[in-house]
Amino acid sequence: MGEETSDVAPAESPSGGGQAPRAGRRGQVRVFGNWCKGCGLCIAFCPRHVFEAGADGRPLVVNPERCTACMWCVEHCPDFAIVVQPIEDDRERRDVA
């Protein structure tokens, strides 16, 4: 079996998480479902409510645009099942050019 990841991004946020940050640090979140044991830490403590629990208790990335790449989930996941890639905000760079 290959790596199973969840990067679900529905058109509308089911949690009503508000608007994405206009500028600043952002991250691209990937959860490796076959490593995750579904402890729920990332779902409970992500300060930006990026995750929601799926039917099996594992996190779904439901608000990817809200991630600020704070790395809390990466540092606290006991199974090393989350990877966050920081994203450069090109808009900021264009604004000052």
Q: Which residues bind ligand SF4 (CB under 6 A)?
A: 27, 29, 31, 36-42, 46-48, 50, 58-59, 67-73, 77-79, 81-82, 84
- Spatial CA neighbour of 62 closest among 97, 14, 2, 95: 14
82-87: strand order across its sheet = 5-6, 26-32, 82-87
**Shortest reach from residue 97's CB to ligand SF4, in Å:** 28
Q: Which is nearer to ligand SF4, 86 or 92 (CB)?
A: 86
**Shortest reach from residue 93's CB to ligand SF4, in Å:** 21
Q: Name the β-bridge partners of 83.
A: 30
